[in-house]
Amino acid sequence: MGEARSVFVDEGVLDINYIPQRLLHRDGELRLLGLMFDHILSAPYEMSQRAIILGGVGTGKTALAQLFGRRLVEDAKRRRVKARYVHVNCRELRGSLFMVLRRAVRSIRPDFPERGYAANELMETLMQLLDEEDAQLLLCLDEVDALIEAEGSDAIYNLTRVQEGRPDGPRRLSLLCISKTADAFRSLDASTLSSLQRNVVTMSEYSSPQLSDIVTSRAEVAFRRDAMPTEVVDFIAELAAAEHGDARYAIDLIWRAGKFADNDQARQVTPEHVRRAAAGIFPAMREESIAQLSRHEQFVLLAIARFFRHSTRPHATTGEAEEAYRVVCEEYGEEPRAHTQFWKYLNQLKGLAVVDIRLDASPQGRTQLISLGKIPAGDLENGVIKAIEQRKG
């Protein structure tokens, strides 16, 4: 028997450090950065600029900065202007200005000694190397919060005012700072803050349709043709939209769901693979929570779990769920409750974040769609059966 065929063709595009050629739904922010740092190309050495990118987790802050930096260097080369882009993660470097500057210096001079210099000496060395190259540098300080927490205003102040010691010299150093919120900058002194806050790019959360576009674009490259159905893409986008529009979470879900599909030797990624992937990232429900449900709430939950265990669709209608509930009641010798009570059970489960219910409006009419977000249907079925048996015992 031959080896099972993987659903993947290129997992590299799902790596956290992968930067696509185009960042979907961020064209406006990319243009804004281009306007802020246009002087590097159009009027080299004439000015230094500072800007801030703000946005929550998974809004594409780092990818935006790195894509912009890559394009900036490419455009500069075409115009025969010498420009460099250096991206440093301040948290990874323990908030140390010394380590930030050493990383910047070694990007230009890789054999530069690891030790033997103070931060102010490294600053002088960096400017000297840029002079020797006749180059400009855009230094990106990702997670700049760590630098401010560790060194206060001094580190940012020194970086923004380095040109003051050389008033007649060419302007060579510009800064791009990245943070989740503006709170990180409130501890800066007024003069340092004034040099930063003029240029701010704010990254909004991705919507569910935008996340669908992002998941589709990655899946088209990462997976075999037809291995990631459209309804599964939309399901992943729904889950990521519920996590504050986190594109990083969506991409991680794609990869993990694909791994579960490979483990099952499946030809396609299914909603159940996605639920298993989501449960592995953020476990959604404990056994004691299931045990605390009423008997008929447990029946409804068991019915939903069984429906999705046998279905490749990510959603069920309320009619399908109620029919499955009636089958479970018959199995356990109980009289099913009326529709109104069944609906109350569903909303109780929704309130406990066990199931999700949303209104779907289409040309055919309006219907309520039920889904299991982060709970594998098979695991949920086993858990509910165990709770029902324990209660009966």
pLDDT average, residue stretch 199-224:
96
**All CATH 1.10.10.10 domain ranges in the chain, comma separated:** 287-392
- pLDDT score of 372: 87
- pLDDT score of 204: 97
- pLDDT score of 365: 67
- pLDDT score of 3: 60
**Percentage, residues of the chain above pLDDT 70:** 96
| CB 251 within 8 Å of CB 23 | no
d(CA 329, CA 310) in angstroms, rounded, equals 18
Highest-pLDDT range among 1-15, 76-90, 178-192: 76-90
- pLDDT score of 393: 58
Any idea which fold 27-203 has? Answer: Rossmann fold (3.40.50)
pLDDT average, residue stretch 245-271:
96
Reported confidence tier of residue 162, pLDDT bands at 50, 70, 90? confident
Reported confidence tier of residue 307, pLDDT bands at 50, 70, 90? very high
Rounded to two decimals, the pTM is 0.85
Taking each helix axis as running N to C, give the angle between helix 61-78 and helix 27-36, from 0 to 180 degrees, rounded to the nearest 10. 50
Q: Which of 43-52, 161-170, 305-314 has the lowest mean pLDDT?
A: 161-170
Reported confidence tier of residue 66, pLDDT bands at 50, 70, 90? very high
pLDDT average, residue stretch 292-317:
94
SS (H, E, C) the chain: CCCCCCCECCHHHHCCCCCCCCCCCCHHHHHHHHHHCCHHHHCCCCCCCEEEEEECCCCCHHHHHHHHHHHHHHHHHHCCCCEEEEEEECCCCCCCHHHHHHHHHHHHCCCCCCCCCCHHHHHHHHHHHHHHHCCEEEEEEECHHHHHHHHCHHHHHHHHCHHHHCCCCCCCEEEEEEECCHHHHCCCCHHHHHCCCCCEEEECCCCHHHHHHHHHHHHHHHECCCCCCHHHHHHHHHHHHHCCCCHHHHHHHHHHHHHHHHHCCCCCCCHHHHHHHHHHHCCCCCHHHHHCCCHHHHHHHHHHHHHHHCCCCCCEEHHHHHHHHHHHHHHCCCCCCCHHHHHHHHHHHHHCCCCEEEEEEECCEEEEEEECCCCCHHHHHHHHHHHHHHHHC
Taking 90 as the threshold, does the pLDDT of residue 391 lie above it? no
| Tens digits of residue pLDDT in 134-149 | 999 999 999 999 999 9
Tell me the pLDDT of the chain averaged across its residues. 91
Reported confidence tier of residue 319, pLDDT bands at 50, 70, 90? very high
CATH of 287-392, one of 3.30.70.20, 3.30.230.10, 3.60.20.10, 1.10.10.10: 1.10.10.10
| CB 323 within 8 Å of CB 312 | no
d(CA 163, CA 171) in angstroms, rounded, equals 7
What does the block give as tokens for 300?
């409804």
Reported confidence tier of residue 279, pLDDT bands at 50, 70, 90? confident
pLDDT average, residue stretch 193-199:
80
Reported confidence tier of residue 302, pLDDT bands at 50, 70, 90? very high
Residues 6 or more apart whose CB falls under 8 angstroms from that of 15 comprise none
Number of residues written out for the chain: 393
d(CA 275, CA 372) in angstroms, rounded, equals 7
Any idea which fold 207-281 has? Answer: Helicase, Ruva Protein; domain 3 (1.10.8)
Taking 60 as the threshold, does the pLDDT of residue 284 lie above it? no
**All CATH 3.40.50.300 domain ranges in the chain, comma separated:** 27-203
**Percentage, residues of the chain above pLDDT 90:** 75
pLDDT average, residue stretch 106-112:
93
- pLDDT score of 1: 42
